[in-house]
Structure 1
Amino acid sequence: MRRPRRTTLLPALAASLSVSLTASLIGALVPPAPAEAAGATLTVNVAQPFRPVTHVASGGLYGLAESSRPADSALLPLKVDSLTQPAPGVGQKPNGQPPGGDSLLVAPQATRVGAGEFIRMPDIYPDFPYRWVSWNDWLAKVNTMVGARRNATTVTNVIGWELWNEPDWTWNTSAAGSFNDGWTRTYRAVRALDTTTPIVGPSTSYYNRSWLSSFLSSAKAAGTLPDVICWHELGDPTAIAAHIADYRALESSLGISPRRIAINEYAATSEVDVPGRVASYVAKFERAGVEMAHRAFWYEYGTMNGLVVNNSQPTGTWWLYKWYGDMAGRMVATTPATQTGLDGFASYDSTRKIVNVVFGNESGTNTVRVTGIGPLGSSVRVTLQSTPASGRFTAVTAPTTISTSAYTVSNGEISVSVPNMSATSAYNLVVQPVSGVPSYQQRYEAENASVFRAQRLTSSSASEGGYVGRIDNNNGDHTTDSYVDFVVNVPTARAYTMTIGYANGTGATATQGLAYNGGAWTTVSYPPTAGWGQFGATVSTTVNLRAGYNVIRLAKGSPYFNGGTGYAELDYIQLT
């Protein structure tokens, strides 16, 4: 972000440095792009899926600004999962810019693109590091922020209150007392006004086991554990797996049930606009089991952290996230030769028989070995593309197509040589049957969609092995409504038949609301089925969609909808 901070390499230094000096220093501390010997191999095992595609790392800190900046058209292809935005009534002046990105003011746009929001509460202060005034002042601000959120009755996409940011160096212990006590006091103040919205923290500037151990022990004793645990990863993606594993061991040793993990700031100044380096971060977040990860804020807000220039034009790094957004089905295992060089992430959509691999962080001639692709046939078509590190001010209108070739599948695998790689560029490998795939994605798995106050679950009878259940909440409270938003992309404006795979174990017909692109509500009825988690039943309806991206919502509860009846689980929607 725009601020002095501790780093993993020099944890005691950052608090004493100026903003400009620290930004330069962090960039200098980040290891340069690896210069390993050419010939690294990334192995992709399509037969080893490990989680549904949820676009874990597509989020951003201060990604949106008021007045729809950047444009929806630049955001929808990215399948933005979540955002961290400033508090209502934001006072922060990021990098000298006027206050902006108020979470409630950008909520309509975030909703239009299917993104949830964490609200960063201390950003109500104008200064960074935050300038503490008094407990009376802070608790009054907490009341004001939570009250504003409660009064915003059309805002349903708030997924967490982030109580503080980087308390390991921004908390004023001498004026406010210990952070552990301050956390408990703030937690209780929020919970007195809002009993349901998840609480997020402690948002430390780096992973620090001893600091977290003290915090978690105190919070457990006080009954104020965060629902979502988070810290920042800024400058060394090779440490991510070890940090996650160590945190899980710490959690277990303290007798704390597993928390959801969010890395709500990632990538240093020298990395955030380098798609090859970003590919390494995303790969490691996916493999480690992080639920959400947000690009760090270092420069201008309202640009999705440098992915968009001139409000709607893509930079080079945007294309990496576009390829990520194109992924559907399930993430599949990727194994790099080392943690410091060539790395990537991959998905397989079995309904289209298409494999997507995004990789980078290495130079020279390297190899992507794709195994487990027997179901694609004896011959496959492979398309290889690249996108450069263009920086945050240079538009890149399209990725470069390096090659399109046919490969013979031998023992269920192929090896693709990728010549003349640049360590700063990212690459996209698409593998599909030589006969081709449908011209547009028709099936959208519910577990790949944006899920609000419901749960992703697994079932052997579900399409791609996953579904969304516990879509239960409809009590007239906009902070607890349950719904699922599907971001879909269709080639032409027309009426489409939308088939919904579902289960309904209630023994009676259930209903949900259906709306798309913020339009009028209709009702979908789900007759009873054999039982919960047992799929195969479908219902169909008609939706009139515009060409390009659309957002389709199926809801138990939502603003302007009277509410669904009974209960139904969602497997997928299919547009034909």
Structure 2
Amino acid sequence: MSRPRLTPGRAIGLTAAVLAAGLGGLVPPAPAEAAGTTLTVNVAQPFRPVTHVATGGLYGLAENSRPADSTLLPLKVNSLTQPAPGVGQRPNGQPPGGDALLVAPQANRVGAGEYIRMPDIYPNFPYKWVSWNDWLAKVDTMVRARLNATSVTNIVGWELWNEPDWTWNTASAGSFNDGWVRTFRAVRALDTATPIVGPSTSYYNRSWMSSFLSNAKATGTLPEIICWHELGSPNNIAGNIADYRSLEASLGISPRRISINEYAATSEVDVPGRVASYVAKLERGGVETAHRAFWYEYGTMNGLVVNGNQPTGTWWLYKWYGDMAGRMVTTTPANQTALDGFAAYDSTRKIVNVVFGNESGTNTVRVTGLGALGSSVRVTLQSTPSNGRFTAVTAPTTISTSTATVSNGEISVSVPNMSATSAYNLVIQPASGVPTYQQRYEAENASVFRAQRLTASSASEGGYVGRIDNNTTAHRTDSYVDFVVNVPAARSYTMTVGYANGTGATATQGLAYNGGGWSTISYPPTSGWGQFGATVATTVNLQAGYNVIRLAKGSPGFAGGTGYAELDYIQLT
């Protein structure tokens, strides 16, 4: 079946119901539900560490550092999908750009991983198939280019094809399932380390996915990361993820990591209220990464930035998201189609952040589980408008700042005159004794490369990063953790590291910040793995504002990590 397209070079996946309705994917941003609903936030019910899973973009970066690092660092960009080395793709009629290897240094500077979209070696969309000899030769060239880029460490996946449910030429290339196997084996013959991503269908389709998974399992070509797109409505996300998990289990396949590496239709992607609903559902669904769909120009992080470094209204939603630390906590909307949001609680600072939208009129945010914040809290409420991708918004609007009494561990905040297209930010802190800047940064909140987020009761915020095990010369398996930190002044800071080291001998890692030189940090042995309380301290010289601090077992310029150490947090004082 042919797929409707909203702009040249990009397709939108739609559910059968939307297609039948003839909407072509243009979902009105304002929900049909009446106003006057309540979003409930349970601070006492965390469900995952903050990792900013939905702060990602398809073709988010362009060459020559576009957009500027200064616009990306506050967002805590999780990951990106970028075109293949030697990109030929001309999305929306633009010249080829965004080559994954050429933009990798900037992605690295802001702590983001990259998936490489391989079929973007072709200039047209939908892709025009040439021959198997041509495709396999291109696969070989792309993979070798990546292998030769020994200074690049942040490639985290090969995306073998894009939207094969309508862009794969079955008549010329044979079945996609067979084509997947051939391509998978061609990549793995050269690169045995980098995860493979797929099938990247234009929307979730159970029968299509079942056929794909069954064949991939039988041929030993299951992707490490399962991917599809959510471009029709955020209301489908929870059901699609639940259905996929059920299908996976029924086929005897171990749980895969999930990426939704395109989300939000053209009518939604610049509407902060609607984006809040997407992010809420992606977080609750447990996806690992999610990327804003590409409908516009290279170098704007998909419409978040205008004129190179000026934020749009939607940028502020992601800035509020980037401000979150600690653990994501449960949000419960009255229904899936109206008021929704996502929230985090950082117990080290005793701060609650709630971002919400997708509803008009006067509504309520009910926040429970606030006992640790004391009997009185300071409540700040802000908004950001839906002004489109060409209008700069220099700052969000502060609606109110007030003090509220906590009763039975909860407060209710009435939000008057909401616009369904705007997003809102609610910040709740103790009425006094609030730190002037964030000092503690959890390892599990940081950017983690070739290591694993784990849990332990003795760890700060209940989480840590372990299995930081690898240092190689190929830089495809190096293990490191990047902390994006924000400090008030340029000066020396004491950096305390919470860690565990169960080897019985001193372990070492490399320490570098802002791309500077390496030093070595040593971790004496502790009582055991996953048992925290030990710390070491060193001095770091940071610039005012955002800095990226890397602790590495292996990284370009550093292969000297010895032994093994697990990271709980860093603290800057």
TM-score w.r.t. the length of structure 2 is: 0.97
Kindly state the Cα deviation for residue 523 of structure 1 after the two structures are TM-superposed: 0.1
- For 2:121, the equivalent position in structure 1 comes to 124
Matches within 5 A, 1:399-410: 399-410=396-407
Whether 1:7 and 2:4 are equivalent positions in the alignment is no
Whole-angstrom CA distance in 2 between matches of 1:236 and 1:13: 15
What is the CA distance between 1:10 and its match in structure 2?
A: 6.1
The match for 1:268 is 265
Cα distance in 1, alignment partners of residues 486 and 527 from structure 2: 32
Note if contact 2:40-2:367 (Cα within 8 Å) is conserved in structure 1. Answer: yes
SS in 1 for 2:172: helix
Once residues 99 and 10 of structure 1 are traced to their aligned partners in structure 2, the CA distance between those partners, rounded to angstroms, is 35
Q: For residues 315 and 12 of structure 1, what CA distance do their matches in structure 2 show?
A: 31
Moved more, 447-456 or 5-14: 5-14
On the 8 A contact 1:35/1:362 being kept in 2, the answer is no
Counterpart Cα distance in 2 of 1:441 and 1:406? 22
Q: Which string of whole-angstrom CA distances, capped at 9 and with x for unpartnered residues, describes residues 133-181 of structure 1? A: 0001000000000000000010000000000000000000010000000
Q: Give the aligned partner of residue 25 of structure 1.
A: 24
Aligned to 2:449: 452
1:35 positional shift: 4.0
Q: Which amino acid aligns with 1:4?
A: A
Maintained 8 Å contact 1:235/1:271: no
Question: Residue 381 of structure 2 is aligned with which of 373, 381, 384?
Answer: 384
Distance 2:42 2:19 in 1: 42
Match of 1:188 among 185, 189, 199: 185
CA contact (8 A) 2:279 2:342 kept: yes
Q: Residues 412-491 of structure 1: matches in 2 within 5 Å?
A: 412-491=409-488
C-alpha distance in 1 between matches for 2:378 and 2:493: 29
Aligned equivalents of 1:6, 1:316: Cα separation in 2: 26
Q: Distance in 2 between matches of 1:4 and 1:13?
A: 17
Runs of 4+ in 1 over 4 A off after TM superposition: 10-14
Q: Kindly indicate whether the alpha-carbon contact (under 8 Å) linking 1:70 and 1:311 is maintained by their aligned counterparts in 2.
A: yes
Q: Find the counterpart in structure 1 of residue 249 from structure 2.
A: 252
- Which position in structure 1 is the counterpart of 2:82? 85
Residue-by-residue CA offset, 1:519-571 (whole Å, 9 max, x unaligned): 00000000000000000000000000000000000000000113200000000
The alignment partner of 2:243 has SS state of: helix
Q: Specify the alignment match of 2:502 in structure 1.
A: 505
1:162 matches 2:159: yes
Stretch moving more, 31-40 or 398-407: 31-40
Question: Equivalent residue of 1:25, what SS?
Answer: coil
User: For each residue in 1:331-382, what CA deviation from the matched residue of structure 2 results, as whole angstroms up to 9, or x when unmatched?
Assistant: 0000000100000000000000000000000000000000000110000000
Give the distance between the partners of 2:12 and 2:359, measured in 1 at CA.
28
Taking the aligned partners of 1:291 and 1:84, their CA distance within structure 2 comes to: 14
SS in 2 for 1:26: coil
Counterparts of 1:185 and 1:394, CA distance in 2: 46
Give, in whole Å, the separation in 2 of the partners of 1:394 and 1:81: 25
Match of 1:225 in 2: 222
Q: Which runs of 5+ in 1 are unaligned?
A: 15-21
Question: Quick one: which amino acid aligns to residue 478 of structure 2?
Answer: D
Contact kept? 2:472, 2:559, Cα under 8 Å: no
One-letter identity of the residue aligned with 2:248: E
Number of aligned residues: 566
Alignment of 1:101-116 (within 5 A): 101-116=98-113
8 Å Cα contact 2:13/2:229 also seen in 1? no
Q: Does 1:516 align with 2:513?
A: yes
Distance 1:428 1:387 in 2: 8
CA drift of 1:217 comes to 0.3
With over 3 angstroms needed to count, the CA separation of the structure-2 counterparts of 1:5 and 1:354, relative to structure 1, is: closer
Report how far residue 36 of structure 1 moved: 2.5
The question of whether the paired residues in 2 share the 8 Å contact of 1:511 and 1:526 is answered with yes
In 2, Cα distance between equivalents of 1:180 and 1:223? 12
Supply the distance in 2 between the matched residues of 1:40 and 1:6 (Cα, whole angstroms): 30
Give the AA of the match of 2:391.
T
The one-character-per-residue Cα deviations of 1:451-477 (angstroms, maximum 9, x if unpaired) are 000000000000000000000011322
Determine the C-alpha separation between the residues in 2 that align with 1:6 and 1:531. 49
Percentage identity across paired residues of the two chains? 85
C-alpha distance in 2, partners of 1:477/1:525?
A: 24
Q: What CA deviation, in whole Å up to 9, does each residue of 1:398-438 have, x standing for no partner?
A: 00000000000000000000000000000000000000421
Q: Structure 2: which amino acid aligns with 1:43?
A: T
Aligned residues of 2:54 and 2:289 also touching (Cα < 8 A): yes
Distance in 2, matches of 1:10 and 1:43, equals: 30
State the one-letter code of the partner of 2:476: T
Distance 2:357 2:134 in 1: 48
1:3 to partner: Cα distance: 1.8
Change (3 A) 1:286 1:358: same
Residue in 2 that maps onto 1:137: 134
Q: What is the Cα deviation at residue 252 of structure 1? A: 0.3
1:19 corresponding residue in structure 2: none
Instruction: Determine the C-alpha separation between the residues in 2 that align with 1:390 and 1:179.
Output: 41
The SS at the match of 1:242 is helix
| Whole-angstrom distance in 2 between the partners of 1:509 and 1:6 | 53
Shift of 1:37: 2.4
1-structure distance, mates of 2:160, 2:560: 32
Q: Is residue 495–residue 570 contact of structure 2 (8 Å, CA) maintained in 1?
A: yes
**Contact kept? 1:529, 1:537, Cα under 8 Å:** yes
For residue 572 of structure 2, the aligned residue among 545, 562, 575 is 575
- Secondary structure (helix, strand or coil) at the match of 1:346 reads strand
| Aligned 8 A contact 2:43 2:344 in 1 | yes
The residue number in structure 2 matching 1:341 is 338
Alignment of 1:210-359 (within 5 A): 210-359=207-356
1:93 to partner: Cα distance: 0.6
Q: Distance in 2 between matches of 1:429 and 1:418?
A: 10
1:555 aligned to 546, 552, 556, which one?
552
Q: Which residue of 1 aligns with 2:4?
A: none
Taking the aligned partners of 1:541 and 1:303, their CA distance within structure 2 comes to: 37
Q: By how many angstroms is 1:390 displaced?
A: 1.0
Is contact 1:351–1:443 with CA below 8 Å preserved after alignment?
A: yes
Q: Which letter does structure 1 place at the counterpart of 2:242?
A: A
Deviation at residue 11 of structure 1 after TM alignment: 8.0
Q: Which moved more, 1:430-439 or 1:362-371?
A: 430-439
CA distance in 2, matches of 1:66, 1:533: 41
> Retained in 1: the 8 A contact 2:485–2:549?
yes
**Measured at CA, do residues 559 and 276 of structure 1 come closer, stay the same or move farther in structure 2, by a change above 3 Å?**
same
The separation in 2 between residues aligned to 1:441 and 1:276, in whole angstroms, is: 27
